[in-house]
Amino acid sequence: MFLLGIGQTIIGASARNIGLSPYQIGLMIAAQNLGYIISVTVSGVLSDSYEKPRLLFVGSVVLAVSFLTFYWSDLLFLNLIIMFFVGIGMGTYEGVADAMLLDIHVQKESLYINVNHFFVTLGSLMITLYLIFLQMNWRDAVIQSGIAVSVLAIFFFLARLESHRKTTEKAFGRIRFIRREKAVILLFLVCTCAAGLEIGGIGIITTFLMELRGFSQVTSKIGLIAFLGGIAMGRLTIGFLTRRDQLLHSLLIFFGFSTGFFAVFLFLEAYQFTYPIAFICGIMMSALLPTSIALGGLLYQEAPGTVIGLIKTAIPAGGIIIPLLLSILSKYLTLRYALIIFPAISGVGFLILFLNREQFRVPALQKTASPG
């Protein structure tokens, strides 16, 4: 997942070094998200029927080759294809890794999934520091990442994992059944809110601090690091405090606090408290996505990979929809008013869960069935 974080951030971190135009950046990210959406769905479904280490081996090979060949040539069309396969490799990791954790760990699932997603944030943070603050050569960094993924591929090729969750239903049958489930649709919407909050927040914080708070290039980046640090800290610690039968309550609490703290951070001009509030915002929203994923896996323990794969398509959806809405609002209103979208989408996530809370009571029942 650390390498997945690198893949998520590589375009944004290296675009200026490569010399990409905004038009080219948009095409590259779109190609990556297309591959991601296809792969996270397919790999999630397959993970309920096939050995997960084998699927991760295939994803690792695809990602390693993509990293090693990334911008080997300056041809845009070729690099769009490579970015599509970067998305394929990332989607495989996303679709299989959390489902595999549910196989390995039959207790404290939320803890392990939160820690797993901590490494995504760590990968994003480290590649940003490596390429921007340390001014290292971006091409060398990508090649080194490709070598690391190649080593990981060897590990997955040799690994064996016997799943304690068996399913005999065909893949298409699982999809047809699950897509009719209201809880899956609701969790998709919740994850869209959570992903949009995280991705949009990361994308707008430095601009917000510079344009509306008068921060410099350096001090605005410190604000972003504080936000990312809060996400990393939250994912390491919140999972320890969350019991499997309290996932819904935890989501409601953190969506509620995210709404309040984002409103304070974005609309209250408390300059001396900007960094601490940014850090707290990161903590409050850090567990939203991994806890929602854990809840989906526990609601449908017969086919967790299929459910997780379908829910995780909300990550690129949220990463596209929320920044797009922010762009439109900032164009026709102002950035100051457009920022209301962050506490608003956090509030929407809270309302979806609160108004449909009876849909998410299964984890408490699973506790009584687990001793067998």
The pLDDT tens digits of the residues spanning 51-104 come to 788 888 888 899 889 888 887 888 888 988 998 998 898 888 877 876 776 666
Cβ atoms 322, 341 nearer than 8 A: yes
Per-residue pLDDT for the chain (372 aa), expressed as one digit of tens each? 666 666 666 665 565 567 766 567 667 777 887 888 888 888 877 877 777 888 888 888 998 898 888 878 888 889 889 989 988 988 888 778 767 766 666 666 566 666 666 766 676 666 666 655 555 566 777 787 788 788 878 887 887 666 545 554 555 555 555 656 788 889 889 999 998 888 778 777 877 888 888 888 778 878 888 888 888 888 878 767 777 677 888 899 999 999 999 999 999 887 788 999 999 999 998 888 888 888 887 787 777 777 777 787 888 788 778 877 877 887 788 888 888 989 999 999 999 999 988 877 644 444 433 333
CATH of the domain at 131: 1.20.1250.20
Q: Give the C-alpha distances (Å, rounded to integers) separating 334 from 147, 251, 269, 330, 339.
A: 45, 31, 17, 5, 9
Q: How much is the pLDDT for 103?
A: 65
Which of 119, 145, 161 terminates a domain? The answer is: 161
Q: Contact 56/155 with Cβ under 8 angstroms?
A: no
| pLDDT, position 76 | 82
Residues 64 and 181 in one domain: no
**Same domain as 305, residue 277:** yes
Residue 196: phi, psi to the nearest 5? Answer: -65, -40
**For residues 127 and 2, what is the distance between their CA atoms, to the nearest angstrom?**
10
Provide the residue range defining the domain that includes 228.
169-372
Q: What is the dihedral of CA 218, 254, 290, 117, to 10 degrees?
A: 30
What are the percentages of helix, strand and coil residues in the chain, rounded to 5?
Answer: 85, 0, 15
334 and 251 in a single domain? The answer is yes
Task: Tell me which DSSP letter residue 129 carries.
Answer: I
Please check whether residues 97 and 222 belong to one and the same domain: no
Residues 148 and 220 in one domain: no
Residues 141 and 211 in one domain: no
- What integer pLDDT is reported at residue 168 of this predicted model? 47
Helix axes 22-46, 2-18, angle to 10 degrees: 160
> What would you report as the CA-atom Rg of the chain, rounded to the nearest whole angstrom?
20
What is the pTM assigned to this prediction?
0.71
E-strand spans in 42-151?
Answer: none
Shared domain check, 176 and 136: no
Q: Are residues 198 and 151 in the same domain?
A: no
Number of folded domains that form the chain: 2
Domain final position from 136, 161, 186: 161
User: Does 236 lie in the same domain as 107?
Assistant: no
> Do both 56 and 77 map to the same domain?
yes
pLDDT, position 236: 77
DSSP-based three-state secondary structure for 73:
coil
* Distance between CA atoms of residues 266 and 217, nearest Å: 18
What pLDDT score was predicted for residue 180? 60
